Amino acid sequence: MSIFRKYKEHLIDVLYIWRQEMKQVIMDEGVLMFLVVVPLGYPLLYSWIYNNETLHETPVVVVDQSHSSLSRQFIYDCDASPDVQVKYYAQDLDEARSLISRQLVRGIYLIPSDFATRVSRGEQATVSVYCDMSLMLAYKAVYQTAMVEAGRLGAGLSIKKAGNYSKREDAITAQPMAVDGVAMFNPSGGYGSCVLPAVLMLILQQAIALGIGMSAGTARERNRNGQLIPDDDPHYRGAYRIVWGKGLCYGMIGAVAAAYLSMAVPCMFSFPQLADGKTLFFLLLPYTLACIFFGMTVSCLVRYRENVMLLMVFVSVPLLFMTGVSWPQSSIPGYWQGVSWLFPSTFGVRAFIRANSMGATVNQILPEIRLLWIQAAVYLGMACIVYNYQFRLARKYADD
């Protein structure tokens, strides 16, 4: 009977702490914003910004020193492409560079004076392409358009000189070896479908950590002696009860946020969505738990409400780079790869992209899932140690 009473008291304390933490989340506008508004609004904002996926009608300036029918044909073909718009004509390269410096155009097409002459002689002609490298998507649009249209123009000239008798011969002359390009895992070739799935998982981690940290900062500011745990509440009488009570609160909120970020947002914006419900469940369960206990461990560093914002927002961009999405994982130094293993987002992002964008099964992302469970267990233990220290400190001040 005593064992039953002990577990009953334990459960009552856990549910009491869960209720108090849930009440604080609802009553505190800052915590509510990070745990509810940020996971709901941030993904929509990012997705709407990158909804076009690729750049279209990228403005360029043309310096046509040839003034020939062939150069005009090349300019017309580039302007007719969906990715480039010939917006200005310049007399020389200096004038064109001034347009780039004023951000009026993103690239320059320089056609030399001997362009048509060299082509008519059967020699190789050149078109110089100057790209604004501050925006990689603009560089891709300007450079690839020039390459494609130059290839088409060269193929047309080859057909005219070949003297073929059939369209089949013309096709072979224009393209002796046919190459079929297949865009795998990102059919649109868009920036959003490439990066935003990683951002969604990172938002989940950052939102949970920010919400827990701000709640911890509020508790320190309200409690006597600036402690994380109140020393005048009899229900806060064990580190494990406190951790499980708070974890239950944030687990309920995190489960809803994880489902919304992994299923609703990709569906609304037509991002690749190849993972089934079973795969997402086995991935998001350890990832959400790891994020919660990671946030609870980090909350011990939070003295004031604003501190957690400075800490987590500062590491957001480095964490995105260390996932290996925006920068190849093989090119990340070993030291920084070791640092990245401390954060659940590293393995969560990699597994989510492989599952949702590439169609990987549970067995194929099993190494990441195991590492997430290890992180969840380690951070659970660390959170218990931290709260146990805070619990003893609070009891000490209560006895004094």
Domain tally, the chain? 2
Q: Can you tell me the mean pLDDT for 279-302?
A: 90
Specify the long-range contacts of residues 228-232, CB closer than 8 Å, at least 24 apart: 228/299, 228/300, 228/387, 228/390, 228/394, 229/387, 229/390, 229/391, 229/393, 229/394, 230/394, 231/394, 231/395, 231/397, 231/398, 232/398
Whether residue 39 sits in one domain with residue 117: no
pLDDT of residue 53: 67
Retrieve residue 180's tokens. Answer: 């079929």
Confidence of residue 369 (pLDDT cuts 50, 70, 90): very high
HEC string for 226-287: HCCCCCCCCCCCCHHHHHHHHHHHHHHHHHHHHHHHHHHHHHHCCCCCCCCHHHHHHHHHHH
Average pLDDT over residues 347-359: 91
pLDDT of residue 325: 82
Same domain, 158 and 268: no
Domain encompassing residue 151: 58-174
Longest dimension (CA), the chain: 103
- The residues near 135 (Cβ < 8 Å, ≥ 6 apart) are 106
Please check whether residue 179 lies inside any domain of the structure.
no
Segment 137-157 shows an average pLDDT of 84
Q: What is the pLDDT of residue 286?
A: 96
> Per-residue confidence at 230, pLDDT binned at 50, 70, 90?
low
Instruction: Give residue-wise pLDDT tens across range 305-335.
Output: 777 777 777 888 888 888 888 778 888 888 8
pLDDT of residue 250: 92
* Interval 200-222: pLDDT, tens: 999 999 999 988 888 877 777 66
| Residues 202 and 340 grouped into a single domain | yes
The reply to whether 168 and 223 lie within a common domain is: no
Q: Tell me what pLDDT residue 1 has.
A: 44
- Contact between residue 387 and residue 299 where contact means Cβ atoms under 8 Å apart: no
Do residues 221 and 354 both lie within one domain?
Answer: yes
193 in the same domain as 71: no
Q: Is 182 within the bounds of a domain?
A: no
What pLDDT does 224 receive? 54
Question: What are the Cα distances from residue 212, in Å, to 6, 20, 22, 136, 259?
Answer: 28, 14, 11, 37, 19
Quote the percentage of the chain above a pLDDT of 90. Answer: 23
Last residue of a domain, one of 141, 174, 207: 174
**Higher local confidence (pLDDT), 347 or 122:** 347
Please tell me the predicted confidence (pLDDT) of residue 255. Answer: 92
Percent of the chain with pLDDT over 70: 86
SS3 assignment, position 64: strand
Q: What pLDDT is stored for residue 350 in this prediction?
A: 93
Q: Which of 143, 174, 205 is the last residue of a domain?
A: 174
Q: What is the pLDDT of residue 174?
A: 65
Tokens linked to 224: 């006597």
Q: Are residues 125 and 231 in the same domain?
A: no
Same domain for 239 and 373, yes or no, is yes
pLDDT surpasses 60 at 93: yes
Residues 251 and 169 in one domain: no
Contact 242, 236 (CB under 8 A): yes
* Residue 183 placed within a domain: no
pLDDT of res. 231: 55
Mean pLDDT of 168-189: 71
Residues in the chain: 400
pLDDT band (50, 70, 90) for residue 33: confident
Q: Is residue 252 part of a domain?
A: yes
Q: Are residues 35 and 74 in the same domain?
A: no
336: amino acid identity, one letter: W
Q: 369, 344 in Cβ contact below 8 A? A: no
180 lies in some domain: no
Clarify whether residues 160 and 46 are in a common domain.
Answer: no
How much is the pLDDT for 141? 87
> What's residue 387's pLDDT?
81
